[in-house]
Chains A and B, each alone.
Chain A
Amino acid sequence: MSEAMSRKMFLGRAAAGGALLSAPGLLRAAAASAAAPALPKTITFSNWPLYIDLNKKKQHPSLLQFQQAHPGTTVRYIEDINDNDSFFGKIEGPLSQGQSVGRDLIVLTDSSGLPQRMIQLGWLEQWDKSAMPHFKNLIPAQQHPIWDPHREYSLPWQSGMTGIGYDPKKVGYEIDSVDKLFTDPKLKGKVTLLTEMADTMGLVMLSNGDDPSHVTQASWNAAKTKIQKAVKSGQIRQFTGNDYAPLLANGSIYACFAWSGDMVQLQADHPGLKWIAPKTGAMIWTDNMLIPKGGDVYGASVLADWFYIPKIAAEVEDYVNYICPVTGADKILEKSDPAVAKNPLIFPPASLLKQTHQFDANALNNVKYKQDFQHLIGA
């Protein structure tokens, strides 16, 4: 039984009968009390495409279940985020003028620097943690990011790793390092890198032995020069978004910087393709749920919390196949879909996670670095 319903009942009947106060959330609600907010009629949730569970009838069971548990509220789910910068460019207009963007919950990637930027600009609302009893299910590794140390504004939706995707048949051997992409003459013109600054520069810095979470001018220049040489010589063919996928699938490229979740999908039709974390290290990024200013804080908080219920998280994870930030989901999946539960790209073991790094949060919004990178990729 949901808290909102219980809360209404509680309010409706004057002072407490012990029979109602069963769920832990209710006790807190009882204490906080009299003017407890109600859920809005509609909660608008903008997300990336195919990032939520989808059943054979093409509905979203997790959302349907939310609506059943919270009658009177519907979730308007819109899959209109396909690029961090583009989406931000679209919402910054209204936000900078103090107007609402018509959404209660949005999802942006930390490695774009945008969640951080929005916090600095004051364009995000804070969670109503009193409405989020499942917040504690957030995995430990994600609990204190540098840019939002107490998770007041953000909550992970899914994470992903960036590493090397390649076709062993075309390459001829097992790749294990970034340097191979840059130096192997057999791969000339058959390699692509990503247009994401954090991913590309991060992986290359790691291959130089530098730490991408603390970018210095020296480490930046070293990575930049390495990439520049490879682009000039034609070793690197293009910089792509996720359009490396068709190129890898049809054999136009042999190896590339790739996202772990994409590989899981490509492998369904091309089981020979591989994804590895380079031996010098991989990058990890997280898509975060955020409440833009003007969104309904209570509604968004309750909805976000819903996805931290392990059963719900397991449903979503079973379809999405990126990295789950909710503890307990893997235990559930071990019984219902063991293949997913055992896939190291979806529930990476601690040994793999230790090899992942995040990009320096301050460098992400540094204008000079961003300009440098744009010039690298041709603009």
Chain B
Amino acid sequence: MNPQADDRGARQSEVVAALARVLPRAAILFRHEDTVAYECDGLTAYRASPLVVVLPETEAQVADVLAVCHRLEVPVVARGAGTGLSGGALPHRWGVSLSLAKFNRILNIDPASCTAVVQSGVRNLAISEAAAPYGLYYAPDPSSQIACTIGGNVAENSGGVHCLKYGLTLHNVLRVRGYLADGEPVEFGSEALDAPGLDLLPLVVGSEGMLAVILEVTVKLTPKPQLARCIMASFDDVESAGAAVANVIARGIIPAGLELMDQPMTAVAEAYVHAGYDLAAAAILLCESDGTAEEVAEEIERMTEVLTASGASRIEVSRDEAQRQRFWSGRKNAFPASGGISPDYMCMDSTIPRKRLAEMLRAIGAMAEKYGLRCVNVFHAGDGNLHPLILFDANDAEQMRRCELFGAEILEASVRLGGTVTGEHGVGVEKLNSMCVQFSPAEREHFFAIKRAFDPAGLLNPGKVIPTLQRCAEYGKMHVHRGMLPFAELPRF
């Protein structure tokens, strides 16, 4: 493998010829003008031109593509809608990008057992739309749900604003079916609630396309709550907002959603969608209750009590569904809104223990000054999952460099506070260096061993998620240069 760069054309011809024996010509793209649209995912700062893009339509074609690639030792990068934020679907220069866009059929909605069987290219929101006539929906709701596919959600173990109460992708998937790198069919999980042997479903969910190519997913559907109402609470300082989050939970309340936005973020979102946010507040919390009308009334009253006692300066409860949607519209559009005020933004995704929220916000403020870049903050506060958005201009190499350092420092601080470098967006290529901070060489070697158990030839999405020893050594050196230790002394549990 890894022929010299000037052999790329020859290699491309070889791979295209082999694929042409198992796929219709129209399903194979290799001219630059045809493949350019596949050069990146939602993390647009990283781009690579794939050797070939294939768009198979049948399972047999996918199995054949995998067999061909396995025989020729060609890397395979599976791809859904390309909305991922960590470069997980970034093409491999010597590899095939396997688009699953044509696997977009909902195969079965079974309202009696509250399940749906869907192909992996089905959009997240399309499942809920198809289930709606039965009073059911698919609970995980990443902000990109209008476009992102269930296959991509499985690859990343995606969350959303309601996962404190309803869980992540893993908690809402019963079974996945697909192929290993060599084209062998596999199935993990079951239509029953468990399957024989080691439970491999949690390994495959969140594996960023490195263990198997998934074509079919059985998801759990949830009865739609009768009613949902949302509280918008304003706070004069972020400390009280952070404390309010802990207080709500300490009172035994699990809100359907609990989100925090800082003042710069609310200003940006308000200008973008006019959600009615309190622009005077240092931070606002969106706190949602769902259930029966009685339940919601009872819970909203308890939430209001706790938020008021925690120092909320203003509380507004959504009067109707339209207003509730408006409250959420700002939050759900936080990323595009930020894109509107800056040429580029880098979205971070670490998770920290909830009690450290205020401390973390202060630390991020200090970093913003240090690196001379603006940063707006939106948090899934209920889960301690942070999305600081660093605003920068990617055309300015110096800004890009500062942005990367800023991001890495946020992630390192998160690990130091007892958290993790990625809560729901995945490692992809973006957080490879940060994985060196969070995991020891022995732990990373176990990740490689798991990868080898599923994909001995290392062809599925190679180079993502797990940094090599050499890369970590280089990253470690960089730290020493900056006068910092790579946190060798930290307990990581």
| Physical interaction between A and B | no
Q: State the A residues within 8 Å of B (CB).
A: none
